[in-house]
Amino acid sequence: MNAARYQRQTLIKDIETEHPKLLCYVAGNKAQVDRIDTLGFVDMLHNVNPGDPIDLLLHTPGGDVDAAEKLIGLVRSATGEEGQLRVIIPDFAKSAGTLMALGANAIVMSDSSELGPIDPQVSSRDGNGSDVVYSVLTYLNAYDAARCARGSRRAYHIRKVRSHHRAQVPVGQRPGALVRGEFAQAARQEFLEDRQRADGY
């Protein structure tokens, strides 16, 4: 029953004989980045000595931005201030996965690997009961454009754009959507600044 799991563990041990500690985080469309993954990360990091270099193999379509920050924070804590974290992306790490990758000292990708925009989204059900996903950053951009154009001749047009995008995000989710969008932008900037200071560029 567990043959595939044991085979993976053997392959990982073989890789680790000549390379840093290898952690694998693979998530699919039905199992996105989530806070429940914290226990798995704590378990994987249990045998990592502080300061040891870590390779994180990452494959995910995205998920919860808060969870992504927490997970990459756990891995960074394990490597310590001077330790090296390398993220390996064999296929894709989108959205929250891209945010996780930005927390690394180095990102290794192939010609076919993909990162994606950091674009928090909120979902809601439409009148037919189908899940509809709305981009938070599209809403934020329209809001910023409207604020900048206030008082100009384009204000009427921008107000219409803002109203349209505001209508796209359900009323009950607007405050949370704004917080998630602003949080994602702030976390991205913080990760990039930390890496620039650590790497000296």
Supply φ then ψ for residue 179, to 5 degrees: -65, -45
Residue written as token pair 């180095």: 106
pLDDT at site 131: 79
Determine the Cα–Cα distance for residues 169 and 128; give it in Å rounded to an integer. 17
Helix (H, G, I), strand (E, B) or coil at 133: strand
pLDDT at site 199: 56
Q: What is the pLDDT of residues 150-172, one digit of tens each?
A: 655 444 444 444 444 444 444 44
Low-confidence ranges of the chain (pLDDT < 70): 16-19, 122-123, 139, 150-189, 191-201
Residue 70 and residue 90 in contact, taking contact as beta carbons nearer than 8 Å: no
Residue 161 and residue 146 in contact, taking contact as beta carbons nearer than 8 Å: yes
Helix (H, G, I), strand (E, B) or coil at 83: coil
Residue 108 and residue 57 in contact, taking contact as beta carbons nearer than 8 Å: no
